[in-house]
Amino acid sequence: MPTPSYRLWKKLTPKQIKKRIQQCLKENVDFEQRTILGIPVSRLDEHVFSQDERLLDSSVYLRALVANPNHIGCHTLGDSEPFFAGTHELEREAIEIVADEIFGGVPGEQDGYIASGGTEANLQALWIYRNFFRAELGAAAGEIAILCSSDSHYSIAKGANLLDLPIRSVEVDGATREIPRAALEATVAAMRADGVRYCIVVCNLVTTMFGSVDDVDQYADCLAAAGLEFLIHVDGAYGGFAYPFVVPESEYSFTNPNITSFAIDAHKLLQAPFGTGIFVIRKGWMRFATTRDAKYIRGMDMTLTGSRSGANAIAVWMLLMTYGPHGWYEKIHLLNHRTEWLARQLDELGVAHYRHPAANIVAIAAAHLDAELIERYGLVPDDHHDPAWYKIVVMNHVTVDLLEPFVADLRRLQSK
Residue-wise pLDDT for 374-394, tens only, equals 999 999 999 999 999 999 999
| Nearest Cα to Cα of residue 101 among 18, 25, 234, 4 | 4
Domain count, the chain: 3
Average pLDDT over residues 216-223: 97
Residue 376 sits in the same domain as residue 406: yes
- Least Cα distance to 191 among 220, 164, 226 occurs for 226
Predicted confidence at residue 249, as pLDDT, reads 86
User: What integer pLDDT is reported at residue 47 of this predicted model?
Assistant: 86
In terms of domains, do 49 and 192 share one? no
CATH number at residue 409: 3.90.1150.10
The CA-CA-CA angle for residues 97, 204, 268, to 5°, reads 55
Mean pLDDT for 247-267 is: 95
CATH code (residue 168): 3.40.640.10
User: Are 181 and 228 within one domain?
Assistant: yes
User: What integer pLDDT is reported at residue 51 of this predicted model?
Assistant: 87
Asked whether residue 192 is domain-assigned, the answer is yes
Per-residue model confidence (pLDDT) at position 82: 84
pLDDT per residue as tens digits for the range 48-101: 888 888 888 889 999 999 999 999 889 999 887 788 899 999 999 999 999 999
Boundary of a domain, candidates 302, 323, 344: 323
Judged against a pLDDT cut of 90, whether residue 275 lies above it is answered with yes
Q: Which of 268, 289, 323 is the last residue of a domain?
A: 323
Query: Are 294 and 335 in a shared domain?
Result: no
Higher pLDDT among residues 173 and 7, named by residue: 173
pLDDT(4) > 90: no
For 113, what's the count of Cα atoms within 13 Å in the CB-facing half-sphere? 30
Q: Which residues make Cβ contacts (< 8 Å) with residue 407, sequence separation at least 6?
A: 342, 345, 346, 349
Percent of the chain with pLDDT over 90: 82
pLDDT over 70 (residue 257): yes
Share of the chain above pLDDT 70, in %: 97
Nearest to 256, CA basis, from 189, 205, 290:
205
Do 266 and 186 reside in the same domain of the chain?
A: yes
Q: Is residue 374 assigned to a domain?
A: yes
The pLDDT, as a whole number, for residue 44 is 83
pLDDT band at 161 (very low <50, low <70, confident <90, very high): very high
At 409, phi and psi to the nearest 5?
-65, -40
Average pLDDT for 143-165: 97
Q: Do 199 and 135 fall into the same domain?
A: yes
For residue 256, give the nearest of 333, 327, 203 by alpha carbon.
Answer: 203
Are 239 and 308 found together in one domain? Answer: yes
pLDDT single digits (tens) 340-359: 999 999 999 999 999 999 99
CA distance 43 to 156: 36
| Co-location of 331 and 233 in the same domain | no
Model confidence at 40: pLDDT above 80? no
Model pLDDT for residues 102-114, shown as the tens digit of each residue = 999 999 999 999 9
Are residues 82 and 42 part of one domain? no
Residue 2 lies in a domain: no
pLDDT tens per residue across span 173-213? 999 999 999 999 999 999 999 999 999 999 999 999 999 99
In which band, very low, low, confident or very high, does the pLDDT at 42 lie, cut at 50, 70 and 90? confident
Average pLDDT over residues 366-371: 96
Same domain flag for 331 and 316? no
pLDDT at 416 over 90: no
Give yes or no for residue 313 having a pLDDT over 70. Answer: yes
Residue 1: predicted pLDDT: 38
Domain containing 239 equals 75-323
Q: Which of 242, 170, 172, 171 is nearest to 206 (CA)?
A: 242
What's the pLDDT at 296?
65
Q: Examine the domain organization and report whether 332 and 317 are in the same domain.
A: no
Give the mean pLDDT of 228-253.
95
Distance CA 411, CA 384 (A): 25
Mean pLDDT over each residue of the chain, to the nearest integer: 93
Distance CA 126, CA 291 (A): 16
The pTM score is 0.94
